[in-house]
Structure 1
Amino acid sequence: MLFSIVMPVYNSGLYLSEAIDSIIDQTFNFEENIEIILIENNSIDNSKNICEKYATAFPNNIKIIYQDTPNVSLARNNGLKFCENSEFIAFIDSDDKISPNAIAEVLKFFKKHTDINLAVLPLFFFDNKNGEHSLNYRFKSNKNIVNITDNYSSVHYHIGGTFFRKKAIDRLGISFNEQMDFWEDVLFINTFLIKEQKYGLIPDAKYFYRKRKEENSLVDTSWYKKNRYTFLLKNGYEEMIKRSLEEYGEVIPYIQCLILNHVKLFIIQKNNNLIYEVLDETEQLEFFRELYKILKYMDEKLIINQKMKTYLKEYLISFKRWGYPVNKLIQIGKIENEKVVITSWRVNKFSIELTVSLSNEESAIKDENNVYISYGKKFIRAKLNEQTQKNIVIWKTTVRDRKYSSYQLKIPLGVIFFRFIVEKDNHYVYLQKVNVLNKLFKRLIRI
């Protein structure tokens, strides 16, 4: 077959038909050009029956591999073995789907770019989450080829919607790490790219990634598994570092960005405290030691250039310099870049009462800073909101003290603009001007 689609299947009976149908219903003739390799991982729902129904309906196009042990990496490797005569191979998860024109667009790309051996589709969420992946910005320029040595911030992670020339996989002799059930696809893709250096972008088709309502996908549950921590650092991040050193004699910026863009997931607010639930104290220290080793390879300028909140960058640089625990933080954020957010409001007869907070992304107001409000010709001291604000904490280090972040205002009706002014080091720092009408209008629209 021209195209082989490898699809591991495990307890995805609710979604499997939709995934398979999206391949059968391609604008590019399915029965003549496409085969699906279903690797049934001993599901306990009706997935096996669904696989067999489709294999019966399309005996020349749909094959089933029965695998006793649920292991996504083993499943993909087994699927690859059944694609010996294929020209192109793709991996689609059994709860996802592709747009009807996807394979036609992929073939058009590969025919035009005969020197490119990997091409990817933009990723869009559906089901319990809508919108598109943050990395889709890559598809919105005029370029359809990424050279990782030049465009090092254009990192690629997701195996779904990634198409390979089979001969290139064979030539490189790569396979999925069967000890890994998370990040195994990142390792596979980027081992390929370290060698190939280039990949293609196909903006006119789509890969649809399902965010399940029950939140029981491998990605959702991985944070509660021990191998999501030190095991991932050693077998994922460090392996990429090793392969870059072997190929280039350095950790190239692309691999640094690949790791940095992912490592931030450990320290964002919803995840960073989980380490204390999942790992014991010895395991925690091992994880922090491994992370310190990895961050030593990261250029601080690249950390600063990452798309993440300033306090996350400050924490990573501080960790890179001094390790865990982080007892002091470098400061790269500036108070003047702090954002002002209206959190509540109430209109009285002649005034508007507002509760206003600083986002604490860039910096933090301290007790030695006087804070003022200016509107018209008025210049008055801001009234601190006595309600305690929750500090921003990463691995037991307070990265933003929010004690002085929230204020209560009372401004006359008719005042359209106001701004915060912070007294720092005997001079005034003017924060952004706030348009009251614009803020209130947006809140009314949401209501």
Structure 2
Amino acid sequence: MADFKFSIITAIFNNERYLEESIESVINQDIGFKDNVQLILVDDGSTDKSLDIARSYEEKYPDNILALSKENGGVASARNLGLKHVRGKYVNFFDSDDKLSPNTLSVIDCFLKEHPEVNVVSMPLKFFDKREGDHYLNYKFEEEGIIDLDEKFDYPQMSMASSFVDISSIKDYEFNTQLVNGSDSQLLNRVLIDENRYGVVNKTHYNYRKRQEESSIMDTAKFSKRFFTQKMRLYYKHLIDECLEKRGEVIPYIQYLVLLDMGGIIKTPDFDNVFDTSEEINEFWQCMDDILVHIDENIILSHRYYNHDEKMFIIYLKNRDFHSETNPKKSKAWLKSNDRAINRLHKHNIHIDYIKTERNNLVVDGFFSSNCRYESISIKAVTDSGNVYAGKRIESKYEDRGVKSYLGIDWKFKYNFSIKIPLNSDDFSFRLFVEFSEDDKFIEMFSDVDFKNHSNITQENPSIMYKSHNISFNDNEFHVVKCSLKDRLKSKFSG
């Protein structure tokens, strides 16, 4: 029988600044520290006073606190050492610069008494210090209860620090010391593959410190090749293989969780300098293929963490196919990956930045977003008399108008254009068209127009006076009317 209700394992490395505050948050739990809590402090080769602080607390609470010391080997190895000394029924892995809310253990204890069938319980995670607010996954905690992973596959639990696990469920596992980060999430979800459920409480929360000088493993790891191929193989692929072995399939929950954690990799704009050899690059892409083959498209499309462009990129990576299809009779064009439409080009708007007159020309500037490279797209204006004025691609002054890339692959393009239309004494109207040209395919599409917030003509105010002309917009068509001096003065002094 366990000596304590809870064992809390804390890995420590050079954290003298915050360590006492963190330890005190455990000692001051309202459940009663001496009767219910074992605190295991594992110093991972600190060079500051962290070990001295840990030992001073061990001397003060010899029956409850155990201070261990080891050579530096990483947080996973420190936690593994702590696991060997657990005397509690439920174990938690508390970070040494964070804080527990005063009622954390009493809330967890109450929930476990009501739900003895549950072996994993988690609580919301909130930031403090230099950043405050809720963690983006806190939607899971809106209602207290039990999460069935078959029903709520999109409720991933990734933090071992904000979870409590029955020691019987974790005793046969250990943290993977080869993982640069993610070992806690991997181990927790190995347990959840077995359990297929976990409890959630919302009357307490875990306080996660965010420092301004953030220098955590997670922040620095992204510059290491271990963040890419090694993490994919030892974390994601390992979970997938274990799920296949135990459950006979990769359950949607594991698919969703793997895809969520892969976001830091997939959204990397450029990783050309990460790898040293072509063999390493090929190994990375092979790992990516080995993982994405197990991720269903419906999981990708339903994911909360990715926007539309990112989802389409992942589908492209999964299928390794990207091609265009056109229907000239209906003026429609698609970019597809297998049968999935990545872009419906005929549905995309032409965005207007501004309209002005310049040296007896009407100038229309804007952009068109798509997954087409610049050479495949052009914009033109066609007047009611049949005159055609081709747009010229320009460099935009706006910072968000560059190419959006993922994993070194250019994916989203914003074609910035400027069209000049000569002004004369005649009134005229014109419409804007998109031309798509690729290989032997060519199609002209009439696109809807919208206006950016900074534009001088909008849907709400669809008319402006420029020098000797009035320019208005109605029913997706621009109208240019020459104005008399009387009309110009009236416009200037009215309102």
Aligned to 1:260: 259
The structural deviation recorded for 1:244 is: 0.9
AA in 1 matched with 2:148: N
Give the alignment partner of residue 27 of structure 2, picking from 24, 27, 43.
24
Distance 1:91 1:341, change over 3 A: farther
Q: Is the 8 A contact 2:379 2:432 kept in 1?
A: no
378, 381, 387: which one aligns with 1:368:
378
Alignment of 1:221-260 (within 5 A): 221-260=220-259
Aligned residue for 1:277, secondary structure, equals: coil
The AA in structure 1 aligned to 2:138 is N
| SS of structure 2 residue aligned to 1:272 | coil
Aligned counterpart, 2:186 = 187
Taking structure 2 as the reference length, the TM-score comes to 0.72
Residue 36 of structure 1 is matched in structure 2 by 39
Give secondary structure in 2 for the equivalent of 1:134: coil
Change (3 A) 1:217 1:427: same
Deviates more, 1:426-435 or 1:175-184: 426-435
Distance 1:22 1:338 in 2: 55
Which residues in structure 2 correspond to 1:205-220 (within 5 Å)?
A: 205-220=204-219
* 1:398 paired residue among 407, 410, 416: 410
Supply the distance in 1 between the matched residues of 2:344 and 2:256 (Cα, whole angstroms). 24
2:448 maps to 429
Distance 1:426 1:339 in 2: 11
Pairing 1:54–2:57 present:
yes
Q: Which has the higher helix share?
A: 1
Number of equivalent positions: 398
Matched, 1:286 2:283: yes
8 Å CA contact 2:125–2:134 kept in 1: the answer is yes
Partner of 1:306: 303
Q: Does the CA-based 8 Å contact 1:257-1:302 persist in structure 2?
A: yes
The equivalent of 2:165 in structure 1 is: 164
User: 1:417 aligns to what?
Assistant: none
Aligned to 1:119, which of 121, 142, 145?
121
The answer to whether the 8 Å contact 2:381/2:433 transfers is: yes
**What are the Cα deviations for residues 393-434 of structure 1, in whole angstroms up to 9, with x where unaligned?**
123322111232899xxxxxxxxxxxx998685444365996
Cα gap change, 1:400 to 1:83, in 2 (>3 Å)? same
Please tell me whether residue 66 in structure 1 is matched to residue 69 in structure 2: yes
**Cα 1:22/1:292, change in 2 over 3 Å:** same
User: How far apart, CA to CA, are the structure 1 residues paired with 2:27 and 2:281?
Assistant: 47
Q: In structure 2, how many angstroms separate the alpha carbons of the residues matched to 1:214 and 1:183? A: 21
**AA matched with 2:158:** Y
Q: 2:317 aligns to what?
A: 319
Q: Which has the larger radius of gyration?
A: 2
Secondary structure in structure 1 of the residue aligned to 2:342: coil
> Is the partner of 2:230 in helix, strand or coil?
helix
Q: What is residue 147 of structure 1 aligned with on the other side?
A: 148
CA distance in 1, matches of 2:203, 2:391: 52
The AA in structure 2 aligned to 1:429 is: D
C-alpha displacement of 1:315:
1.4
| Post-superposition offset of 1:391 | 0.8
Q: 1:277 to 1:109 in 2, by over 3 A?
A: same
Instruction: Confirm or deny: 8 A CA contact 1:155 1:258 kept in the other structure.
Output: yes
- CA deviations on 1:320-350 (whole Å, 9 max, x unpaired) are 11289xxx864435676889899x9xxxxxx
Tell me, yes or no, if the aligned pair for 1:98 and 1:161 is still in contact at 8 Å. no
Q: Write the deviation string for residues 20-66 of structure 1: whole angstroms up to 9, x where unpaired.
A: 11111222211221121000111011211211222222222211111
Match of 2:101 in 1: 99
**Bigger share in strand:** 2
CA 1:386–1:187: 2 relative to 1, 3 Å: closer
1:117 positional shift:
0.4
> In the alignment, which residue of structure 2 is the partner of 1:332?
342
Give the partner amino acid of 1:273: D
The amino acid of 1:240's aligned partner reads L
1:70, distance to aligned residue in structure 2 (A): 2.6
Letter in 2 for 1:157: M
Distance 1:361 1:21 in 2: 54
Deviation at 1:314, TM superposition (A): 1.4
Shift of 1:369: 4.4
Per-residue CA distance 1:263-294 (angstroms, 9 max, x = gap): 121122xx332453354432122111111111
Alignment counterpart, residue 277 of structure 1, candidates 274, 278, 289: 274
Q: AA paired with 2:320? A: W
Q: Work out the CA distance in 2 between the residues paired with 1:112 and 1:67.
A: 39
CA RMSD of aligned residues (A): 3.4
In 1: Cα distance, 2:135 partner to 2:453 partner: 30
Q: Partner residue of 1:15? A: 18
Which deviations, in whole Å up to 9, do the C-alpha atoms of 1:189-219 show, x marking residues without a partner?
1110111101011111111222232221111
Q: Which residue of 1 aligns with 2:361?
A: none
**Structure 1 Cα separation of the partners of residues 71 and 432 of structure 2:** 65
> Which residue matches 1:352?
none
User: Secondary structure, in 3 states, of the residue corresponding to 1:387?
Assistant: coil
Q: Would the alpha carbon gap of residues 99 and 340 (structure 1) be closer, same or farther in structure 2, given more than 3 Å must change?
A: farther
Shift of 1:240: 0.7
CA distance in 1, matches of 2:5, 2:60: 20
CA contact (8 A) 1:292 1:323 kept: no
Residue 87 of structure 1 aligns to a residue whose secondary structure is strand
1:377 is matched with: none
How far apart are the structure 2 equivalents of 1:31 and 1:119? 22
Alpha-carbon separation, structure 2, partners of 1:406 and 1:169: 63
Change (3 A) 1:60 1:340: farther
Alignment CA distance shift 1:112-1:297 (3 Å): same
Indicate which of 4, 7, 15 corresponds to 2:7: 4
Alpha-carbon offset, residue 385 of structure 1: 7.1
Identity in percent: 28
Q: 8 Å contact 2:126–2:206 — kept in the other structure? A: yes
Residue deviations 1:111-131 (CA, integer Å, cap 9, x gap):
111100001111112223222
Relative to structure 1, the CA distance from residue 163 to residue 356 in structure 2 (aligned partners, 3 Å threshold; closer, same or farther) is: farther
Instruction: Report deviation, 1:71.
Output: 2.2
- Structure-2 separation of matches of 1:254 and 1:398: 30
**Compared CA separation, residues 370 and 185, structure 1 to 2 (3 A):** farther
Deviations 1:78-100 (A, max 9, x none): 1111113x111111111111211
